[in-house]
Each structure stands twice: as C-alpha cells, then as structure tokens.
Amino acid sequence: MRPWAYETADIPGLNATIKQSPDDFIVEELPLFEPSGEGTHLYLTLRKRGVSTFEVADRLARALKLAPKTIGYAGLKDKHGVATQTFSLPGIPVEALSGLELPGVSVVATALHGHKLRRGKLAGNRFSITLRNVDRSRQSEVDEQITRLGEHGVPNYFGTQRYGVRLSNHLIGRALLREDWDEVVGLTLGRPAHADTDPRVHRARELHDAGRLEEAAAEWPRHFAVERAMAVQLVRRPDDARGAVGRLRRRERSLYLNALQSYLFDSLLEQVVIERLDTPPFGLLPGYKVKATDAVLSEPELVAAVLPGIDTASVFRRERLKGARRALRLRPVISHNWIEDGLVLAFDLPSGGYATSVLRELIKGDPAIPRP
C-alpha cells in the first residue's frame, strides 16, 4: 500500500496542523445559478459547523416532516469545518422555519425556486484554510512551491475522503459489483482497524469476526443505523449475507460504488503523474454512458484488472453508474498569507475539485491506499 503519487514528490512534506479548530477550514459554495424568487422549492442557505451535509439533511427532514430523498443539495461538505451550503426543501413556506433550531447550524438566506437543487449543480467552492504550527524556517521554500503549483496545477485526485475513514469504501463497492456478499458483510461489519476510534464500534467488529452475531448487533451504537440493521438481519438469518447486504440504503450503496469509480479514476491519474505523460485534459470516470474520445484519457486494462471477469458495461448499467469525464488537473490561483502561528491559504476550485488536492502536495501526509 502507498499514497497516490505526488506532483511535487521532490519537495519534502511540510509539518503543519490541519483543522486545529473548525474555523481553520472554511468553505463557501459558489452557486451555478441564482434562485428565481418563484416556485415551490425553498432554497435554504445555511452555515454549518461541526456537522456533515447528510446530518443536516436528516435533521431538516425530521424537523420539517419531509422524506430525506426530497431534500436537495449540490454537494457534500465535511463535518470538520465551517461550510456555507444551500439545501432545497419542497413545499415548505419560509414561515415554517420560524423557531427551527438545528445544533451547529444557522440560516444565512432563503429564496424560492422552481425545482430541486441537484447534485453537481454548483460552480465551485471557495476555501480559506489555516495551517497551524508551521515550520517558518521553510517559508521561502513553501512560497516557491505554492507558485509552482499555481503554474503547473495539481493532480485532481478524488483522494482519501472518497474512501471513508476506514479507507475501504472502494473495496466495498468492488465487492458489490462482484456480488461477493460475504466480502461486503466482512468489510462493513468486521475487520476492526485503528480508524475505529469508538470503542463500541471496535468491539462490535471484533464480535462479528468471532461469530458472536447477537452480541455484535447489540454493540453497534444507535447512530450506526445501517450497520445495526445489517447485523440484526444476520442474527435472524446467519447464512444469508445477501439478505444482510439488502439492508444497505440506496445512499450508502451509491457511496460505495462511487468510491470504486473514484478509485479507478485516481489509479489512472497516478499513472499520468508517475510517468509524466502528455495527456488530454480529461480522464474517464468509468460508467455505461461515457466514452473515451481524443479529449478523454481511458485505460480499460486497468478497469479489467480491478474487476476481472466482469461485464462492466452490464453491471455499470444495472447499478446506474453513468460515468463522466473529469479534469486530470486543477489549476487554482492560490493566495497565501503567513501569520504568527501559521499559514492561511485561499483559493477557488470548480465543482468536483477537493481542497485536499492542494493540501496533500504541501503536507505529504496522505495515508496508504488499500489496492484491490
């Protein structure tokens, strides 16, 4: 296992602390369009602190008695930071927000529009990131590196946030496509790791691996709803791994399958970085609708190596994985400012670009990625 290859591998990583507090990682959505002011969908712009997009959507659904799937948002934002983000709510009058209290969330603006806010309908994101405890003796070297990244760009990896805290989402996605139900269950409910910081989660995984299914099901914390549901199903029917996997919600299933797509793209991009290839501007995110062209780099042999013996066109269609083309490089304009105890970075990225693409080049602290 190893991290994805770095563009500036010749420059040592910078010792720094990321996200010492939520205010050290600030992101603001850049909308693709402005709400029309008329329609049946309430566009609610919120500032959230210490909560994820999924958590906010679920809390809104419960508070306003909406089905979670009817709530729209353009993209996912990390819980570890401060994010300004817009949600769409069908059929909700602005008066219904009176008295609405969501921990860690405040209302910035409201407006009406004619349709739901869809995923990806975003111009980009504006970041302000403060690195703390930075080694000031390397200031001139860092200044030069930031200039170099601005000139040459950074590899547009999806990166570790797509693979989950346990760095296993793509492995679960692969097992789903291969219909290896035992492997899906094992990765989801067993195999404890250092990333399982909650002692109850670590214990639940140990109990599952030991075959003590009833104890494992009882140990899962309540907010691990999917894992609990799968574990309870296994207690009812211990030999029915497929039935347990059937307890996955569509949201989690899509998360795992999208992580596999991301892994395949990142693998392709790493080849470009390592071999310094002169490539087209875009790479292929595999799916049943997207095709390689002169402007889009693809590597079918790589997909075949990760998914051997599988009719990928058929399974991608079955799982509704359309695919897409994605820029191989980002070219952000990075401004930076040295402060007493750190370094402040400010830059905009287009929709689908991650701030980690910039940060990883400076810090070089990525974990090793499990390779199928």
CA distances from residue 257 to 120, 199, 246 in whole angstroms, order as listed: 17, 28, 15
Cβ pair 81, 104 in contact under 8 A: no
Mean pLDDT (the chain) is 93
* Average pLDDT over every residue of 57-67: 94
Cβ pair 55, 98 in contact under 8 A: no
CA distances from residue 212 to 91, 116, 204, 215, 240 in whole angstroms, order as listed: 47, 45, 9, 6, 16
Instruction: Report the CATH architecture of 33-120.
Output: 2-Layer Sandwich (3.30)
Regarding predicted confidence, which is higher, 304 or 1? 304
> According to CATH, where is 3.30.2350.20 located in the chain?
33-120
Number of C-beta neighbours around residue 2 at 10 A: 10
Q: Give me the residues paired with residue 131 across strands.
A: 18, 343
Decide if pLDDT at 367 tops 90.
no
Each residue of 324-339: pLDDT tens digit?
Answer: 999 999 999 999 999 9
Q: How many helices (H) and strands (E) does the chain have?
A: 12, 14
Each residue of 192-215: pLDDT tens digit?
Answer: 999 999 999 999 999 999 999 999
Regarding predicted confidence, which is higher, 367 or 53? 53
Q: What is the largest CA-CA distance in the chain?
A: 63
Ramachandran angles phi, psi of 3, nearest 5° = -70, 165
Q: Which two tokens stand for residue 213?
A: 């299914």
Decide if pLDDT at 295 tops 80.
no
Q: Looking at residue 299, what is its pLDDT?
A: 80
pTM of the shown model = 0.85
Q: Which residues are catalytic?
A: 78
Regarding predicted confidence, which is higher, 292 or 206? 206
Residue 46: closest CA among 54, 38, 56: 56
Cβ pair 329, 361 in contact under 8 A: no
Decide if pLDDT at 218 tops 90.
yes
* Average pLDDT over every residue of 34-53: 96
State how far the Cα of 315 lies from the Cα of 338, in Å rounded to an integer.
Answer: 50
CA distances from residue 152 to 146, 148, 329 in whole angstroms, order as listed: 10, 6, 9
> According to CATH, where is 1.10.1510 located in the chain?
180-250
> DSSP assignment of 296-315, as one string?
EE--HHHHHHHSTT--HHHH
* Class at the top of the CATH hierarchy for domain 180-250: mainly alpha
Q: Looking at residue 231, what is its pLDDT?
A: 98
